[in-house]
Amino acid sequence: AQSVSQHNHHVILSEAASLELGCNYSYGGTVNLFWYVQYPGQHLQLLLKYFSGDPLVKGIKGFEAEFIKSKFSFNLRKPSVQWSDTAEYFCAVSLSGGSYIPTFGRGTSLIVHP
């Protein structure tokens, strides 16, 4: 069964700092990759997704992620975080051509200090 690992469980940054959240998955086949964000008190929202094509994916609110197939990684980045980016971030993977059910990582709690 596939699994998803998020290396950073808690990240604390100051505004304007750069962000990189790690995500690795275990499955070696063709995958679909996602990053979701959950702001305090709100529902999970899709930040960005990768199905195929350009491995550098741009999402909403200035986030981007890079798919590196050889490393089974899909790290999330943002050059300059804002206080409003304080949230929980989840990486998810689904099997392309499979059940389409995404498997989620345990999440990374990001706190941005103003």
Partner 1 sequence: KAGVTQTPRYLIKTRGQQVTLSCSPISGHRSVSWYQQTPGQGLQFLFEYFSETQRNKGNFPGRFSGRQFSNSRSEMNVSTLELGDSALYLCASSGGTGRTEAFFGQGTRLTVV
Binding site for partner 1 (CB under 8 A): 9, 32, 34, 36, 42-46, 49, 51, 90, 96, 99-107
**Residue 71, burial from CB neighbour count under 10 angstroms (0-12, 13-18, 19+):** exposed
When the beta carbons of 100 and 114 are compared against partner 1, the nearer one is: 100
When the beta carbons of 26 and 45 are compared against partner 1, the nearer one is: 45
81-98 burial: b if 16+ Cβ within 10 Å, else e: beeebbbebbbbbbbeee
Q: How far is the CB of 74 from partner 1 (least distance, A)?
A: 14
Q: How far is the CB of 59 from partner 1 (least distance, A)?
A: 11
When the beta carbons of 59 and 78 are compared against partner 1, the nearer one is: 59
Q: How far is the CB of 41 from partner 1 (least distance, A)?
A: 9
